[in-house]
Amino acid sequence: MSRSSYVDAREAMRLCSLPSNQALGETLTSLADEDEDLTVVVSDYGRRLFLDGLVERHPEGFVQVGIAEQDQVSIGAALALEGFPVFAPCYASFVASRSFDQIRVNLGMMGAPLVLVGLSARYDSADLGASHCATEDVALMRSVPTATVITPADNAELASAIRWLAAHPRPAYVRITGSTTETCLHASGCDVSAGGVTQLREGSDVALVACGQLAAAALEAADILETTDVSASVTEMAIVSPLRENELLHAIRGKRLVVTVEEHGVVGGLGSAVAEVLSARDDVPPLLALGTPRSYLDGGDVRQALLTNDGLDPWGIASHILERLERSKKR
């Protein structure tokens, strides 16, 4: 595939002005225009993915399985093992959990280079209730040793990841945490093939390590901390598994505290991935893992309200950090 994973500044700005589903659909369609083999397998969630061009120009590249996520993975995996670059988008809350056995067998044991795309992860569809909030998708996919797990922070990074995976197929999971966003943390361009690590801000006291759209909230939290004389660095790590250990250790060196921020439960996600690295070493700072609570959503609400409630908006993140720093001082 000739199109590289590099997304330049102009493209980045354009992509970041679109809803995530549109950025995804357009990227897949462009890839299909270049490669007849590019395949998208959907489980009755294709109409809203801006794939009309792909369906029209490459009908064989669009495979509809109906509301049947297990079949989506089995069929996608077979096509991928037969040499087609295959993407399988689905609600994040269903794609990893509903068909996890198919995932562990096909992507895990057989190494099928199928790319699952988790749409509307965690609170993006929270008005539909707990069933539509993925709390454990990253945790599940991290447990598949062969799977690369990517949580892009904005649409530029999303497009870069999709293009990279189309050119270099491997078992993978790409998680999208928003359907609309004006976040652009890669306005000057990005290339996930370089490792997906973006140093958003330098600082000396606290190391914030974030993934997904909340990287933007982490950045704002760092600004708030600055006003209280706490200097925080912010590192965005798009590839949660396998985690880039050297870059992580470099980011946290000399800091008093490491703070992870993710729109996912703290069990099994980025926080756990970082904890696993830190627990194997003696010379590392303590960890504060921030994420969504260890419970299912009771009822339903809009995303921003829920994030604020969980202390995952900029003020919430800053408060958690200050509280933890205060507790450490008292010891």
Q: How far is the CB of 133 from other proteins (least distance, A)?
A: 24
Q: How far is the CB of 114 from other proteins (least distance, A)?
A: 10
Vertex 255: Cα angle to 252 and 258 (nearest 5) = 60
- Report the residue number, 98 or 122, with the smaller CB distance to other proteins: 98
Give the number of other Cβ atoms within 10 Å of residue 15's Cβ: 24
First and final CA of the chain: distance in angstroms?
57
Distance of CA 213 to the CA centre of its chain: 8
Q: How far is the CB of 77 from other proteins (least distance, A)?
A: 7
- Report the residue number, 101 or 202, with the smaller CB distance to other proteins: 101
- Report the residue number, 70 or 309, with the smaller CB distance to other proteins: 70
- Report the residue number, 62 or 123, with the smaller CB distance to other proteins: 62
For 36-91, what is the HEC assignment? CCCEEEECCCCHHHCCHHHHHHCHHHEEECCCCHHHHHHHHHHHHHCCCCEEEEEE
- Report the residue number, 79 or 325, with the smaller CB distance to other proteins: 79
The residues that touch other proteins, with contacts defined as CB under 8 A, are: 37, 60, 63, 65-66, 68, 70-71, 73-79, 82-84, 101-102, 105-106, 109-110
Q: How far is the CB of 264 from other proteins (least distance, A)?
A: 27
- Report the residue number, 83 or 195, with the smaller CB distance to other proteins: 83
Q: Would you call 264 helix, strand, or coil by DSSP? A: strand
Q: How far is the CB of 131 from other proteins (least distance, A)?
A: 18
Q: How far is the CB of 76 from other proteins (least distance, A)?
A: 7
Q: Would you call 146 helix, strand, or coil by DSSP? A: coil
Q: How far apart are CA 234 and CA 326, in angstroms?
A: 20
Q: How far is the CB of 79 from other proteins (least distance, A)?
A: 5
- Report the residue number, 34 or 127, with the smaller CB distance to other proteins: 34
Distance of CA 302 to the CA centre of its chain: 20
Residue 307, token pair as written in the block: 């994030």
Q: How far apart are CA 261 and CA 265, in angstroms?
A: 10
Which residues, other chains included, contact 229 with Cβ-Cβ below 8 Å and sequence gap of 6+?
Answer: none
